[in-house]
A and B are shown apart, each in its own frame.
Chain A
Amino acid sequence: MVEELLRQHGKPEKEVYFDLENSGLVPQEVVEAMLPYFNKRGYGHPSITHKIGWEAYEVVHTTRELVASTISAPDPENIVFTHSGTEANNLAILGFGLANRNKPGKIIVSAIEHLSVILPAEQLEKIFGFKVMRVPVTEEGFVLPEIFEAYMDKDTVLVSIQAVNHEIGTIEPIEELVKIAKDLNPNVVFHVDAADAYGKLRIDVKKTDIDLLTISSHKILGPKGVGALYVKPGTRIEKVIFGQLSTQSLWPGVENVPAIAGFKKAVELAFKNFDENVAKMRSLRDMLMKGIVDNVTDVLINGPTGDKRAPDNVNIAFLGVEGEALTLEFSLRGIYVSSGSACTSRMLEPSHVLLAIGRRHEEAHGSILFKVSRYHSEEDINYAVEQIPPAVERLRKISAIKNK
Chain B
Amino acid sequence: MSTRIPLPYSPKVLELFRNPKNAGAMEDATVKASAGSPACGDVIRMYLKIVERNGEYYIEKASFESYGCAANIAAASVLTELVKGKSLREAWEISWRHVTDELGGLPPIKYHCSMLAVGALKRAIREFFKGKKYPEWLPEKPTWEEKQVIEEEKMIEKLYSKYAGLGGR
Contact = CB atoms under 8 A, between A and B. Distances in A.
Interface string A1-24: 110110111000000000001000
Contacts of B155: 346-347
B106 to A, nearest CB: 11
B8 A347 contact: no
B11 A343 contact: no
A346 B112 contact: yes
Among B45, B67, B73, residue most surrounded by chain A Cβ atoms (within 10 Å): B67
Interface residues on A, range: 35 or more
B34 A341 contact: no
A111 interface: no
Interface in A291-325: 320-325
A42 interface: no
A5 B56 CA distance: 41
B43 A347 contact: no
B4 A401 contact: no
A360 B169 contact: yes
Given A1-B11, A322-B67, A349 B42 contact: no
A167 interface: yes
Contact of B41 (A361, A397, A398): A361
A346 B116 CA distance: 11
Contact of B5 (A167, A340, A343, A350): A343
Given A5-B11, A325-B72, A347-B155, A399 B66 contact: yes
B40 A348 contact: yes
Contacts of B147: none
13 contacts: A2-B8, A115-B2, A115-B3, A322-B41, A328-B69, A342-B1, A346-B152, A347-B40, A360-B39, A362-B41, A398-B65, A400-B34, A401-B67
The 5 closest A-B pairs by CB, nearest first: A348-B41, A324-B69, A361-B39, A400-B65, A365-B41
Interface of A: 1-2, 4-5, 7-9, 21, 115, 167, 320-325, 328-329, 332, 338-353, 360-362, 365, 369, 397-401
